Amino acid sequence: MADRLESLLAHFAVHARMFHSGALCGFNDVPTLPETGQLHLIKSGPVEVNHDGADSLHVTEPSLLLYPRPLKHRFKTDVTRGADFTCANLHFDGGAANPVANALPAVICVPLAGIEGAASVLSLLFDEAFNERCGRRALINRLFEVVLIQVLRHLMETGQIRTGMLAGMSHPKLRHALVAMHEKPAHEWSLDELAETAGMSRSVFANTFRDTVGLTPGAYMQNWRVSLAQQRLRQGQPLKMIAIEVGYGSEAALSRAFKVQSGLTPREWKQAQASG
């Protein structure tokens, strides 16, 4: 079976940049940046995490906190002992349109011990974060990216995401169709062909896909193609070439789908990105 995560991250990578390592004591408001997520690793110490208008999280064991999108939060720790953190900002390629970031809840909290296969990476990351060595920051940034991939794998393999694209990627049959669509966006996928790829009947596939992913297969395919088109526009590719690569026969066809999806033509969208 083709790699579920590879088909996503090949198009929409994630880049990490550490911004803190060390103890935090008392109350600490965490600064956020536009279109930037965050990944916090709590090495030790109890932590209360507060969000505006939401219930607090009480972290009592070494844990990971993932914010795929900007969300204001505050850490409350013991004023004397504090808690040891290593934190990174996350840049998801495609910004707010990144399908991985969009498929995740606003905040995810996972005990570090529960992430299978992550112990050695986390041990190295903490060792580098709390020591001063040559190349330390560059190495830590890469390790954060590895940890994020391990968390995404963990969420899919344990079925913790109940709806949306990642829920579909967790499904033992739907994931085959989703990977096929991700890897071959230019192919004219029919419902019958997708159902066959998933090893399901046409009607069961259509109903299960809609109930799990939250969209029909046709609507999902359009979303994926437009997301790819936006990514290529950011990279400066000409619209004519993009239309062919993502499965539209002409610039006009892509522009129509693009406007249905985003409310803007490709030209208007690119201008809005430049001015923003």
Q: Which fold has domain 166-275?
A: Arc Repressor Mutant, subunit A (1.10.10)
pLDDT tens for 174-211 read 999 999 999 999 999 999 999 999 999 999 999 999 99
pLDDT tens for 6-25 read 878 888 889 999 999 999 99
Q: How far is CA 131 from the centre of its chain?
A: 29
CATH 2.60.120, domain 4-157, yes or no: yes
What's the pLDDT score for residue 276?
59
What's the pLDDT score for residue 94?
78
User: Does the pLDDT value for residue 1 go beyond 60?
Assistant: no
Domain boundaries, the chain: 4-157, 166-275
What's the pLDDT score for residue 95?
76
Q: What is the mean pLDDT of residues 167-180?
A: 93
Q: Whole-number mean pLDDT of the chain?
A: 91
- Per-residue DSSP letters for 237-275? --HHHHHHHTT-SSHHHHHHHHHHHHSS-HHHHHHHHHH
4-157 against 166-275: fold identical: no
- In the structure encoding, which two tokens stand for residue 52, read together? 């505006």
Spell out the residues 6+ positions from residue 93 whose beta carbon is closer than 8 angstroms to its own: 11, 12, 13, 14, 15, 231
Instruction: Please choose, from the candidates 116, 9, 109, 19, the residue with its C-alpha nearest in 3D space to the C-alpha of residue 60.
Output: 109
Higher-pLDDT residue of 252 and 52 is: 252
Spell out the residues 6+ positions from residue 111 whose beta carbon is closer than 8 angstroms to its own: 61, 62, 63, 64
Distance CA 177, CA 156 (A): 16
